Each structure stands twice: as structure tokens, then as C-alpha cells.
Amino acid sequence: MIPSEKQDEFRVPKRLQGMQKSNIRQIFDSALPGSINFGLGQPDLRTAECIRNEAIRVINEEPLGYTSHAGLPQLREKIVGEYPHLDITADDCIITVGSNEALFCALMTLCEEGDEVMVPNPAFPAYPAINNLADAETVLYRLPKEKGFGFDANEFEKVITDKTRAVIVLSPSNPTGRTLSKEDLQTIAKILEGTGIYAVSDEIYRELYFTDERPASISEFYEKTLVVGGLSKNMSMTGWRMGWLLGVPEAMKKALVVHGYNTVCASTITQKASLAYWTEDGKREEAEAREIYKSRRDLLVKLIDEELGLKAVSPEGAFYSMVDISEIGEEMDIVNKFLENRVITVNGLGFGDEAKGFLRISFCASEDDIREGIKRMKQALSI
Ligand SMILES: Cc1ncc(COP(=O)(O)O)c(C=O)c1O
């Protein structure tokens, strides 16, 4: 007989020990009503109109049972069509429940106990958490703050070991908004060539760029790549849960097993409506959103400099900027001061120790809200 006390005790499995609600959520949950939200990475724009209209039509007119596990073939064909340099077909693409599930599928498929996965420092906090669930160790590679969080080949190369199974490549980046140049990606490819290490390329922000050219993908230079993407950010579809995973056929076959048992398939309404992205209206609405974020970025970086006298990374993509507050106080003291003055920001440390002394400011807020937010920040700092 097991003693009853032992039976009552909830046993936390090893892979969940030490894991908790993300730092960003904790800060967000303590915000006062009426706060300006520079915290979450969630577009404030409405979901693109063409997607909303198509969803309504589909709900009223089309069958809405399960799709195949991998998702609608015509949708997968469109997505694979975005990667003409890869020797793959629609069979090597899975529609996932947001890109987060694509990351989960990729790492569950690639990793086992004893493997290491290289993760940028700083980066999206879900990577180490998913590595944990996949029994893999996270090994961080620095994107040095003194280089404006840009890529550094030495920092990258020096953490590769014979246990490295995969490396997360993130461009444009959450939290820094920096993109990896073609040269950076070619360098990464050169370092990885012949190692057998997989690149997991998180391209969820790829269409939100402010440079002349669309950011390149590591998959153009390195074959052993699994690409993670989706429509959450560029089409303001976070709640629709539309993502994908594609790449190396042998890996994708196993990823489909993970995905199938986990979710069966992504929402059929979402999948059918998402086809509207590959239309003239879809691409136009995406370009409009890109322009809106670009103009907000310019305003935000200017106001941080002129009104707060602080330095911010001028992002090349995504909708985040990193502000250096190291000279004016401790991160959490400043975050809390801003919270008291009804502005939500996120401390850099939550993304990795490289970002200590910085705050991540997201510009998923209107230009009026950006002006008001900066005004409140200025008051909070008694400038
Ligand atoms: C870098 C990065 N990857 C993936 C995701 C997941 O997005 P979704 O699951 O909505 O596609 C996010 C969300 O914030 C992100 O910042």
C-alpha cells in the first residue's frame, strides 16, 4: 500500500520541473486598467479583412470537418511555393496550430535526452521551455549587446559540441527586431555544413520588415533546415492559430506523427480562410500593415531618444525595440515604475541575460498611444 499522504502529493514530471508562466504574462497580469500596452507581441490591428470575409463565407457555405492531419493540400502548396529553392513538395509541409506548435513539433521530432539545442541569447522564451519538453538541453549563443544584438560567428561557433542536435535561427528577432543579413546566414550555413546539425528557422516575423529587401531564410543556404512560419503577426491572426512547419522530408514524416496525435489538425475554418492570404487583397493588406509598423517604429525610436534621452535599437523587422535603461536603474524597478504610471513594458532579462539592462518595447499600439505611452514613461522617470 502507498501511504495516503504520498498519493495526495502531486508529482511534477521531471520535464516540467522549474517551468512556470512566462515573465511577460506575469507583468501583463499585474497591469492597471487603461494601461498603454508596449508589452505583448500581439498586433493591435484587426485581422486582415480578406481573411475575415473568407472565414464568414466558409462557415456558411463549406464543409468544416477535420482536414487531413497535415492540412489542406492547396494551402500547403501555396506555402511550399514560398520556398522554391527547396526540393520539397506539399507532402513536406504541415499546417500547425500557430507557429508555436510548429516549434514544438520540430523539437519533439529532432531531439532526445542528451541532445543540445542552441538558442539565441536574447530570444523568445518559448525555446528553452519547448527544449525542456523535448528532453533537450538549451545552450545559449550570444548576440552581443555591444554589437546591437547582431550576429557574432565566434559566439555561435564556440558553443557547438558533439551533442548539438539543432540550432534555432530567428530573424527578424523577438525581442530585438534585428534581422540576420544574407552574409550572417551564409556564415551560419558554412559553420553547420557537414555537422549534421539541423537549423530550425523561426520565420514568424519574416514578412514584417522595414528594410528594402525581404529578409533571407537560412533554408536558402543550408539544406538541413526546418522552417517555422505562420500568419499570426503579418495578418494579425494570433487568435486564429495558423502556422506551418516544412523542410527535410524524413523529419517531416515524423513531425506529422507528433502533430497528428497532438492536435489531429489545425482549425479547418482557419485553414480555409487563410487561403485568402495568397490573393492580391491578402498581399496588399500585408503591405499596408508593414507600412503602419514602419511608421510607428520611426516615431517610437525618435521619441525614446528625444523625450526620454535613452538609446533604442532601431529594429529592421518585427515590432519590437530594445531600450537601454542600464544607466537609469534596475530593470524591474523601472518596469514597475512604468506599470504604476500605466505603461506595460517587459524587462530584457526575461529573454536571456544578454538583454539585462534593457526593456523590450513592442509597438503594437497606435501612434497616439505611442505618444501617450512615452509621455507617461517620461512622467514616471520624472524627467
Ligand atoms: C519568435 C516567435 N516565434 C513564435 C511565436 C508564436 O507565434 P504563433 O504561435 O502565434 O504563430 C512568437 C509569438 O510571439 C514569437 O515571438
Cβ–Cβ under 8 Å, residues 143 and 178: yes
Q: What is the pLDDT of residue 5?
A: 60
Q: What is the pLDDT of residue 28?
A: 84
**351 alpha-carbon distance from chain centroid:** 12
Q: Which domain holds residue 13?
A: 4-47+281-380
- How many domains is the chain built from? 2
How far, in Å, from the CA of 166 to the mean position of ligand 1?
Answer: 19
Residues 252 and 111 in one domain: yes
Cell numbers found for residue 258: 507528433
Cell numbers found for residue 38: 508596449
CATH assignment of the domain containing 38: 3.90.1150.10
Cβ–Cβ under 8 Å, residues 101 and 243: yes
Residues 6+ apart with CB under 8 A from 87: none
How far, in Å, from the CA of 317 to the mean position of ligand 1?
Answer: 14
Per-residue pLDDT reduced to its tens digit, 343-372: 999 999 999 999 999 999 999 999 999 999
Cβ–Cβ under 8 Å, residues 271 and 71: yes
Q: Is the dihedral of CA 323, 326, 330, 333 positive or negative?
A: negative
Per-residue pLDDT reduced to its tens digit, 194-206: 999 999 999 999 9
Residues 259 and 334 in one domain: no
Residues 69 and 169 in one domain: yes
CATH assignment of the domain containing 79: 3.40.640.10
How far, in Å, from the CA of 203 to the mean position of ligand 1?
Answer: 9
- List C-alpha distances in Å: 235 to 50, 52, 273, 282, 327: 10, 11, 12, 8, 37
Q: Does residue 215 have its Cβ closer than 6 Å to ligand 1?
A: no
Cβ–Cβ under 8 Å, residues 241 and 266: yes
Residues 54 and 192 in one domain: yes
Residues 309 and 219 in one domain: no
Residues 370 and 221 in one domain: no
Residues 170 and 116 in one domain: yes
Residues 132 and 116 in one domain: yes
How far, in Å, from the CA of 306 to the mean position of ligand 1?
Answer: 31
Give the ligand 1 atom nearest the CA of 230: 11
Q: Does residue 130 have its Cβ closer than 6 Å to ligand 1?
A: no
Residues 196 and 166 in one domain: yes
Q: Does residue 99 have its Cβ closer than 6 Å to ligand 1?
A: yes
Enclosing H/E stretch for 305: helix 280-306
| Furthest-apart CA atoms within the chain: distance in Å | 70
Residues 125 and 189 in one domain: yes
Q: What is the pLDDT of residue 256?
A: 98
- pTM of the predicted protein model: 0.96
Query: At residue 120, what is the residue type?
Result: P
Q: Does residue 174 have its Cβ closer than 6 Å to ligand 1?
A: yes
Of 238, 253, 279, the residue at which a domain comes to its end is: 279
Residues 185 and 227 in one domain: yes
Rounded Cα distance between 109 and 254, Å, is: 6
Regions of the chain where pLDDT drops below 50:
none
Of 246, 279, 312, the residue at which a domain comes to its end is: 279
Rounded Cα distance between 383 and 380, Å, is: 8
Of 214, 249, 279, the residue at which a domain comes to its end is: 279
Residues 62 and 36 in one domain: no
How far, in Å, from the CA of 56 to the mean position of ligand 1?
Answer: 25
